[in-house]
Amino acid sequence: MIHIKELKSGLPIFKALSSEIRVQILELLVKHHNLNLNDLAQKLNLTNGAITMHIKKLEESGLIHIVTNVGKHGLQKMCHLNEDKLLVELRGEEEDNFYETELRVGHYSNYSAMPTCGLATKDNLIGAFDDPRYFADPQRVDAGIVWLTEGFLEYRIPNYLSSGQTFKEIQLMMEIGSEAPGTSENWPSDIRFFLNDMELGTWTSPGDFGDVRGRYNPDWWPKNCNQYGLLKIVRINDEGSFIDGWRIGDLTLPELKLDYKSEILFKIAVGEKHKKGLTLFGRHFGNYDHDLLVRVLYMDS
């Protein structure tokens, strides 16, 4: 995800997006994952010179990157999206007190797992496929991917507030998807989110994606296993609970009655209606090289 925290820092991206042609190029790359310059020129009915100019601006903005490959007819410049999500903060962070932390996807404090299930580090599978016993293995804290068909993962969020400070918003960012035997792009699964056992809401993951290899997956990771997920941002504040800005529940932060002494437990669980598992991607797996990101906004009294 490209995260623009100050408007001025996003000017190169805003300029790149000011052209309808360049927006169309991005839409084609979303659909086809990667295309060479000739393919883009033909699909948009443009000359190679014109497409090169647009590609240069998109590359300079950081929205795409170019890889030179050897093809049947010589060298080919292949265009790829750098990220598939853009977050712009209009208000700016300087107005808020906040702290951020990153929780390893394997550093859960409680769990329940049913096959198909498993977890792996960047170097190896932990234990064996489909054996829930290994979810208790001490090596789990180094895991970069965790998956299960039924059950939940629960994480302890550090509480760094002091006396006289109050919670304003809690944000959680994660790469997540369903869990199919093998992979399946059409494998909807209801995934529920909780804070201190109070439900924030449910999001339905569309599938367990394996059409292309995850950008950060280690070389040894099998091609028939989960390759990547979708980046999701879960938020709770005094207005309700949201995922990617869409309301998923009416639970508000004041209803949790958190203070500087409170324990904060975040749970991700497989739902009951579309029970097709969950996969959580961390560092060295999927398309985003980070684990579970947490940001806590607070106010001074």
- Same domain for 191 and 144? yes
> How much is the pLDDT for 90?
61
User: What distance in Å separates the CA atoms of residue 2 and residue 62, rounded to the nearest whole number?
Assistant: 9
Residue 212 has pLDDT above 70, yes or no: yes
Min mean pLDDT across 50-64, 69-83, 194-208, 266-280 is at 69-83
- Same domain for 113 and 45? no
- Same domain for 62 and 112? no
Which residues lie closer than 8 Å to 261 by C-beta, 6 or more apart?
159
Q: What is the pLDDT of residues 140-163, one digit of tens each?
A: 999 999 999 999 999 999 999 999
Domain membership flag for residue 49? yes
- Same domain for 40 and 101? no
- Per-residue confidence band for 16, with pLDDT thresholds at 50, 70 and 90: confident
Secondary structure (DSSP) of 65-106: EEEEEEETTEEEEEEEES-S-EEE-SS-GGGSEEEEEEE-TT
- Same domain for 70 and 104? no
Residue 177 has pLDDT above 80, yes or no: yes
CA nearest neighbour of 195 among 269, 246, 301: 269
Residue 123: CATH number of its domain: 2.60.120.260
Residue 7: CATH number of its domain: 1.10.10.10
> How much is the pLDDT for 129?
96
| Contact yes or no for 267/199 (Cβ under 8 A) | no
Q: What is the pLDDT of residues 88-141, one digit of tens each?
A: 766 554 456 999 999 999 999 999 999 999 999 999 999 999 999 999 999 999
Domain membership flag for residue 110? yes
Min mean pLDDT across 8-17, 66-75, 89-98, 261-270 is at 89-98
Domain membership flag for residue 86? no
Give residue 48's domain range.
Answer: 2-81
Number of domains comprising the chain: 2
- Same domain for 164 and 35? no
> How much is the pLDDT for 5?
63
Domain membership flag for residue 91? no
> Residues for the chain: how many in total?
301
Domain membership flag for residue 87? no
- Same domain for 128 and 193? yes
Residue 186 has pLDDT above 80, yes or no: yes
Q: Which of 51, 81, 111 is the last residue of a domain?
A: 81
Sign of CA dihedral 205, 207, 208, 210: negative
User: What distance in Å separates the CA atoms of residue 34 and residue 30, rounded to the nearest whole number?
Assistant: 8
Q: Which of 23, 49, 81 is the last residue of a domain?
A: 81
- The overall longest dimension of the chain from CA atoms, in Å, is 68
- Same domain for 51 and 110? no
* Beta bridge mates, 191: 203, 270
> How much is the pLDDT for 271?
94
